[in-house]
Amino acid sequence: MSSQTLKKAGLKVTLPRLKVLEVMESLVGNHVSAEDVYKLLLETKTDIGLATIYRILNQFEEVGLLTRHHFDGAVARFELKSSSHHDHMICTDSGDIIEFNDPVIEARQQEIAREKGYELLGHSLILRVKPTERIA
């Protein structure tokens, strides 16, 4: 599966690319940094340098296999490109990233763009949240 994915994306099939793609495929729904990928590969005794992992993740983004996010402003996080759009909530306490899709929000964004005389081409919605306090 992974080698076919690389070929379809127009990338040469190499062991480092295969290994990075396998990690990303095993983490569907997760948002990982290059350092996270590096650590996971080390756990499986796969020795691929961090610079190579950065390069591969950038290549994967360029060919549309991954989406890059800058949730916290500094560290880039990657996820496999999804066939359906979703937005994100970031928990300020735990750092958890929660994916969601809301048709009402999506429709309203389209309406706002049209009202202002624009066509919405894309967007990124990130909500920063914290757990609500529970009253016993």
| DSSP string of the chain, one letter each residue | -HHHHHHHTT----HHHHHHHHHHHHTTT--B-HHHHHHHHHHTT----HHHHHHHHHHHHHTTSEEEE-SSSSS-EEEEPPSS--EEEEETTT--EEEE--HHHHHHHHHHHHHTT--------EEEE-PPPPP-
- CATH number for the domain spanning 108: value is 3.30.1490.190
* 92 shares its domain with 63: no
Show the domain range for 70. Answer: 2-80
Average confidence (pLDDT) over 24-28: 86
Domain boundary among the residues 80, 101, 117 is at 80
* 39 shares its domain with 75: yes
Residue 63: pLDDT band with limits 50, 70, 90:
very high
Total count of domains within the chain: 2
Is residue 73 scored above 90 in pLDDT? no
* 93 shares its domain with 120: yes
What's the gap between Cα 47 and its chain centre? 23
How close are the terminal C-alpha atoms of the chain, in Å?
A: 50
Average confidence (pLDDT) over 55-75: 89
Average confidence (pLDDT) over 52-76: 90
Residue 81: pLDDT band with limits 50, 70, 90:
confident
Task: Count CB-CB contacts under 10 A for residue 23.
Answer: 21
* 72 shares its domain with 114: no
Q: What is the mean pLDDT of the chain?
A: 89
Q: What percent of the chain has pLDDT over 70?
A: 96
Angstrom distance (rounded) from CA 115 to CA 107: 12
Give pLDDT, residue 126: 86
Q: How much is the pTM?
A: 0.79
The answer to whether residue 134 sits within a structural domain is: no
Is residue 1 scored above 60 in pLDDT? no
Per residue in 109-126, pLDDT (tens digit) is 999 999 999 999 988 888
Give pLDDT, residue 83: 72
Angstrom distance (rounded) from CA 106 to CA 113: 11
CB 39 within 8 A of CB 79: no
* 91 shares its domain with 37: no
